[in-house]
Structure 1
Amino acid sequence: MSSWYNGQRPLTLAIVALGGEGGGVLADWIVSVAERADHYAQNTSVAGVAQRTGATVYYVEIFPPGPAPDQAARSEPVLSVFPIPGEVDVLIASELMECGRAVQRGFVTSDRTTVITSTNRVYSIDEKMAPGDGRADSAELIAAAEAASKRLIAADFMEMAEQSRSVISASLFGALAASGVLPFTREQFEEPIRGFGKGVESSLRAFAAGYDAAARPPARAAKSQPVPLTLGPRPVSPEERKAEEEARRNEIAATDPAALVGPTLRPLAERVLELPAAAGSTILHGLVRTGVYQNRAYAEQYLARVTRFADVDPDADGAARLTSEAARHLALWMCYQDTIHVALQKTRQARMERIRKEARAEDHQLVQVREYLHPQIDEITDTMPSGLGARMARATLFRRLVRRVTHKGMILNTSSVTGYTLLSTMARMRPLRPRSLRFVREQAAIERWIELALTAAATDPDLAREILECQRVLKGYGATYEHGNDSFEKLMSAADELIGSADAAARLADLRAAALADEDGARLRAKLTA
């Protein structure tokens, strides 16, 4: 039996799970196993603030049969209702970031805690809101959990559950059974699932998958050294970024361009063969992206813009980094997200099929897709013809009218005749896009950006690449879009002043990193005024 019997103390289990993942069911199953074996057990829960700002914590305590020592007058032990840092025997996490949070909160200790965590990620709000790459490093999270725990069992239990058409609580339950922490047999663990009465067969399949994954010996026997856990943005070294770029450039180096782009863009794809070979893959993907976004003429404009950089690339026969960066960032900027493009993406047949697949809908079942929209005044006026959109954007009465209609948001059923017709009609407005207010504004900004980068390329190709990289701050919509534009303009002004100065590329890269560090541009302003 486990050592906790000898010391006559309860075994403590903390479960951290997001909403809808069956954390409560998992806690109930654990209690049921213990009570069927005549143990004392209880579970409680403390709800998080929201699904991704704090997971619900389920807490289970189990005590062996018989009175506790020195308390012969009591027939039952007194069990706690919430976990205490340093006093948790088993930590079960349904997602890797939540495991990291539990480590930070002190629930995991190296002399006591067995950690069972799924390695899948559900990105937090902070990670999604970061202007740059705000993702926490999964490898760092796993290393920190391994260093902090007595034993780590880590696998993608979410994938196991999905393959079994079940929920992650079942596969995590199987991992707990295989861990050997609880003194119960596999058959005893399976009894609550059989008695649950819902999705029994699929839950048992997920349980078996989790059991087998946890029963396998760990890949590394040696324990890692302690790793400080900050849960900050995932660091990307220059070497990693260079490797990613190289992989992207070589992705379809041997691919037939015509086969990739199709007959409409075939003549343009053949012209790509005349450009630097190292940038060929990126350029071809940019052609497809701009062609789908607008039309062949727009793709041809994209190719002409990239060619201007290829003509001045000092390493055109080698890595062609200037051409590759221009091809990548031009494609991203020229295909900005407007209402027309959003409508196109939402009505694509591939999206509807993917939703049905994710919902596991059978052929005879109906699926409804509802879009939760909150259109802003700028999104409406930006789609209008340039002159009309500019006037409407300044019209106070029009702003009030839009706000009255849309301030509570809108729910549109894409799978209904009305909803699909509205979105598909908007998507078919692509021929009118070149006359829209935002298209005119974006194209003018792109040309200014290109001219500045080409001017810098004449004397400092490294600075030119950094100018192209500054496109990364342009993203999102609403306030995020406005802040990004403001930061971009400041970066371009700084780049113009840096041309001809020493270490210009490094200084602009530092400013760009500051612009991506927060959403409102406070760090960039501090850098510029320092």
Structure 2
Amino acid sequence: MDSSINTSAAPRAASPIKIAVLAMGGQGGGVLADWIVDMAEHAGWWAQTTSVPGVAQRTGATIYYLELLPEADVERAGRAPALALMPTPGDVDLVVAAELMEGGRAIQRGLVTPDRSVLITSSHRSYAVSEKSAPGNGIADPNKVLEAGRAAAKRFMCFDLQDLADRAGSVISASLFGAVAGSGALPFSRDDFEATVRRAGLGVDASLRAFALGFDAAAQAPEQPAPIDLSRPVPAAPEQAASARTQPLLDMIRRDFPACAQPMLTAGVRRQLEFQDLAYAREYLERMKALRDLDARHGGEARQWELTCAAARYLATAMAYDDVIRVADLKTRATRFERVRQEVGARPDQLVYTTEFMHPRLEEICGTLPAGLGRWLENSKAFGGFVERRLGKGRRMRSGTLSGFLMLYALAGMRRFRRATLRHQIEKAGLEQWLDLVARLAPQDYALAVETVNCRRLVKGYSDTHVRGGGKYRQLLAAAEKLAGRPDAAASLRALRETALANEKCGPMERQLADQLAA
């Protein structure tokens, strides 16, 4: 080694500005990163961006990492800088997250530190698969992220940047770019930012509107973001129905039911109309009248009509179950196609094709057939083997093509025959069993009857999700009968339900029930 070379005496470049952008697919994280690079290079800076892709199915975002260094610092160093390819925990100046929980992930990864990091995140949510598939309410508490952000960041800004982009007719990358500019975290002027948007040449006017809204929101942001209000006030029942045909149903709600139950009953009627027809909505209210009478006979008024209010919600979901017909109906609605276009940010002149993954089980196929035929085919080994061979691994179809759309549209049109299908007969029998149990329990234990109504919360979705929830629900109904007569029956059933909602498997609930019965 030549000792005459003194490397320590060589001039060194100043530390670059380090930026991490976390965004999911379709949110324009790459566009935002490219804009920052373009702006820096036009201002005479060195700039580098890299990306680390996230995992599919909404379990993680792509991290775009940028480093910016002024040309003057590079010239003083006398050599090209060596910029990093990935963010280092504790060594990031600006963190931008296109969704609230991605801001939380950045904090977990250690990218946000109180001595140097500015954290900008949108407050809106795009729910993770784990949140959607949880047996109960799996939605994470956004205020936990806000608490962590206040403690972790040198400066923390959080507001609904997706809403700002929607109001401007643009995409969230534009409002995020405006928030970065408004935060003052980067040493560039507003003119530099806006000139970058203009150079991009696509959707300039809408992008500049979104940029301006994001800029103002960041410039006027409080020192710390306020907690997010998670309350959902229940709307009052309307005075007038949207149609003369449904006005008698609304009149029945307002005349025959307590005020506390009327908003949920109104929502329940809307759901039955959407699911089936006017007669089905009338059947829903007739069932509810019987439950209200049961409630009144056993002290419901003194208990704020707890049984009636719970039944209004869960009877509506029980009657409007998710079957193949309903799924096909939802997938062929114009509002769904429009929502998909908005989510991917498609321009008016662009075509968008949606690929549906269909995995119908034997039970679902037979459930759409007339009850007699469906039962016969369900018990046929030959038919079951045929279905397994053809559909065992699922099929993909494009609902935006004529053939794909017509297939789903024809399935949705089977709604008029739904009452004769095997699935409807099965659901109706289960519904009657549930209501009969509630009617038997109410005279001896009102609180247990209410908890039995609430057990219906376990049943949701279709296919495997419906099977898992339905199995635990039936176990809870059996447990309610076993617990009847015990002074702690209602509390015990409630604890069992909470355990069932918190765990994917039945084991914890079954062990808890065994312990309760043995006590």
TM-score by length of 1: 0.85
Contact between 1:18 and 1:51, CA under 8 Å: does it hold in 2? no
Quote the residue 2:287 is aligned against.
305
* Paired position in structure 1 for 2:116: 112
Q: Which of 101, 119, 144 is 2:148 aligned to?
A: 144
Match of 1:413 in 2: 399
* Deviates most, 47-56 or 113-122: 47-56
CA 1:43 to 1:268, structure 2 compared with 1: closer, same or farther past 3 Å?
A: closer
CA contact (8 A) 1:278 1:318 kept: no
* 2:339 paired with 1:383: no
Q: What residue identity is the alignment partner of 2:359?
A: H
Percent identity between matched residues is 42
Question: Residues 455, 195 of structure 1: CA spacing in aligned structure 2 closer, same or farther, 3 A cutoff?
Answer: same
* Partner residue of 1:59 out of 65, 76, 96: 65
Aligned mate of 1:213, from 207, 210, 217: 217
Q: 1:252 and 2:248 equivalent?
A: no
Partner of 2:245: 264
Q: Measure, in 1, the Cα distance between the counterparts of 2:302 and 2:244.
A: 28
- Alignment check: 8 A CA contact 1:371 1:414 kept: no
**Partner of residue 293, structure 1:** 275
Equivalent of 2:19 in 10, 13, 18: 13
* SS, match of residue 198 in structure 1: coil
Give the whole-Å Cα distance in 2 for the aligned partners of 1:203 and 1:269: 45
Q: CA deviation at 1:324?
A: 1.2
Summarize the alignment of residues 508-519 of structure 1 with structure 2, pairs less than 5 Å apart. Answer: 508-519=493-504
Q: 1:414·1:423 contact (CA, 8 Å) conserved in 2?
A: no
Match of 1:41 in 2: 47
Does the residue aligned with 1:91 lie in a helix, a strand or coil? strand
Correspondent of 1:429 among 403, 411, 414: 414
Report how far residue 113 of structure 1 moved: 0.6
Residue 330 (structure 1) aligned with residue 334 (structure 2): no
* Contact 2:310–2:450, Cα closer than 8 Å, also in 1: yes
| CA 13–452 in structure 1, closer or farther in 2 if over 3 Å, else same | same
Q: SS state of the match for residue 260, structure 1?
A: coil
- What letter matches 2:200 in structure 1? F
Structure 2 length-normalised TM: 0.87
Residue in structure 1 matched with residue 510 of structure 2 by the alignment = 525
Change (3 A) 1:353 1:317: farther
What does residue 473 of structure 1 align with? 458
Once the two structures are TM-superposed, the CA of residue 359 in structure 1 deviates from its matched residue by 7.6
Displacement of 1:117 in angstroms is 0.8
1:241-283 C-alpha deviation (Å, 9 max, x unpaired): xxx5xx43xx234x33xx3273434444433312323222322
- Of 424-433 and 344-353, deviating more is 344-353
Between stretches 29-38 and 333-342, larger displacement belongs to 29-38
Match of 1:284 in 2: 266
1:68-83 maps to which residues of 2 (within 5 A)? 74-83=78-87
How many Å apart are 1:382 and its aligned residue? 0.8
Q: Distance in 2 between matches of 1:448 and 1:506?
A: 22
Q: How does 1:110-189 map to 2 (within 5 A)?
A: 110-189=114-193
Q: Would the alpha carbon gap of residues 436 and 177 (structure 1) be closer, same or farther in structure 2, given more than 3 Å must change?
A: same
Distance 1:77 1:365 in 2: 42
Residues 19 and 51, structure 1, Cα contact 8 Å, conserved in 2: no
Please state how far the C-alpha of 1:39 moved relative to its aligned partner.
Answer: 2.6
Task: Indicate which of 186, 197, 204 corresponds to 2:201.
Answer: 197
1:42 CA displacement: 1.4
C-alpha displacement of 1:509: 1.1
Asked if the contact 2:179/2:211 (under 8 Å) is kept, the reply is yes
* Cα distance change, pair 24–223 in 1 and its aligned pair in 2 (3 A): closer
Moved more, 362-371 or 82-91: 362-371
1:45-104 CA distance string (max 9 Å, x none) = 111122511111111112234457xx9774233221111111111101011110011111
Matches within 5 A, 1:312-461: 312-313=294-295, 314-316=299-301, 319-348=304-333, 351=336, 371-406=356-391, 407-413=393-399, 416=402, 418-461=403-446
1:208 partner amino acid: A
The alpha carbon displacement at 1:126 in A equals: 0.7
Counterparts of 2:510 and 2:31, CA distance in 1: 50
- Give distance in 2, aligned partners of 1:424 and 1:73: 67
In structure 1, C-alpha distance between the alignment counterparts of 2:135 and 2:373, rounded to whole Å? 32
- Residues 108/433 of structure 1: CA separation in 2 closer, same or farther (3 Å cut): same
Conservation of the 8 A alpha-carbon contact between 1:261 and 1:288: no
**CA distance in 1 between partners of 2:398 and 2:60 (Å):** 29
Structure 2 Cα separation of the partners of residues 480 and 16 of structure 1:
31
Contact 2:368 2:374 (8 Å CA) reproduced: yes
Q: In terms of mean alpha carbon deviation, does 376-385 or 282-291 score higher?
A: 282-291
SS of the aligned residue for 1:516 comes to: helix
Change beyond 3 A, Cα 1:503–1:24? same
SS at 2:64 equivalent:
strand
Once the two structures are overlaid, the 10-residue window that deviates more, 35-44 or 379-388, is 35-44
Contact 1:517–1:523 under 8 Å retained in 2: no
The separation in 2 between residues aligned to 1:361 and 1:39, in whole angstroms, is 33
What amino acid maps onto 1:504 in structure 2?
A
Question: 1:411 is aligned with what amino acid?
Answer: M
Structure 1, residues 424-447: CA drift from partner, whole Å, max 9, x if none?
Answer: 433333343222211111111111
- Equivalent runs, 1:206-245 vs 2, <5 Å: 206-218=210-222, 221=223
Spell out, residue by residue over 1:469-491, the C-alpha distance to the aligned partner (whole angstroms, 9 max, x if none). 11111112222211111101110
Counterparts in 2 of 1:28 and 1:293: CA distance versus 1, 3 Å: closer
**Unmatched tracts of structure 1, length 5 or more:** 1-5, 228-233
State the 1:185 CA deviation.
Answer: 1.3
**SS of the residue 1:8 aligns to:** coil
Matched position secondary structure for 1:48: coil
Number of residue pairs matched?
A: 499
Considering only aligned residues, what root-mean-square deviation do their CA atoms show, in Å? 3.0
Shift of 1:128: 0.9
Q: 1:101 to 1:425 in 2, by over 3 A?
A: same
Pair 160,299 (structure 1): closer, same or farther in 2 beyond 3 Å = closer
Cα 1:108–1:525, aligned 2, differ >3 Å: closer, same or farther?
same
8 Å CA contact retained: 2:45, 2:71: yes
2:67 and 2:384 map into 1 onto residues whose CA distance is: 58
Report if the CA contact (8 A) 2:323-2:462 is conserved: no
Cα distance 1:468–1:115, how it changes in 2: closer, same or farther (>3 A)? same
Residues 377 and 393 in structure 1, CA contact (< 8 A), matched pair in contact too? yes
